[in-house]
Amino acid sequence: MNETPGGSPELFQRKICGITSIEDAEAMGAAGADALGLNFYPKSKRFLRSEIAADVRQAIPSDVAAVGLFVNGDVVDVVSAAQRLSLDWIQLHGDEPPEYLARLRRLGAPPVLKAFRCGPDWKQEIIDFLASCAALDCSPGALLVDGFDQNSYGGTGQAADWQALADWQDWLTCEYLVLAGGLRPDNVVAAIDAVHPSAVDTASGVEIEPGRKDPSLAARFCANAQAAMGV
């Protein structure tokens, strides 16, 4: 991974989440993704089993960011996994409060990608969360905004509110926004044109079935996203 002068990895632009096998780790890197997500939430359909996690991590190309997704996990366990697997980012996809990020920072965790869902009052929730993080000196490295499903923490294929996100640079006190939620090869260009995010993230949009990726769909997704973002 390339690094910023401060030592943190540069933000990726094309993330594919829910990698569950060595084959998919290799194929998604070859398809053009510059970040791959490893899901450590046991209730997820894309949960990565601990006995193969190290092998899957090792299969991720060196120029592709490894992002570990956690949901309301024990802080010490999260940091331990991040260190053991040499994760570049920790993605928090649960209800973790600012104090949780402060503990991660004190324990020397990698940069945090904090996810939010477009539920009721989600904008104010993000604004208040970032204000609290700033007061605790633990601001996340980037934010991810996903679609909303009250019964799930993500990976549902539900689209985020593109229209409400169009002006994110005017109210979001975070430099990087990752757009997720229902993104596919056939709609990622429209999503980028509407929101102008820093990065895009997909899981179900490039799958044959949950946890099993389609290299052709992934290549189209990455190519379309790259063209739309002008990189």
- Say if CB 16 and CB 205 are below 8 A apart: no
Closest CA to 38 of 113, 103, 100, 101: 113
Exactly one of 17, 133, 138, 174 is catalytic; name it: 17
Closest CA to 160 of 130, 182, 142, 138: 182
Residue 90 three-state SS = strand
Nearest-angstrom CA–CA distance, 109 and 196:
29
Exactly one of 24, 146, 201, 214 is catalytic; name it: 146
Does the annotation mark 63 as catalytic? no
Residue 177 three-state SS = strand
Nearest-angstrom CA–CA distance, 25 and 37:
9
What are residue 215's DSSP bridge partners?
Answer: none
Could you tell me the end-to-end alpha-carbon distance of the chain, in angstroms, rounded to an integer? Answer: 17
For the chain, the 3-state helix, strand and coil shares in percent, each to the nearest 5, are 35, 20, 45
Nearest-angstrom CA–CA distance, 48 and 112:
19
How many other C-beta atoms are found inside a 10 Å radius of the C-beta of residue 94? 15
Does the annotation mark 146 as catalytic? yes
What residues act catalytically? Answer: 17, 146
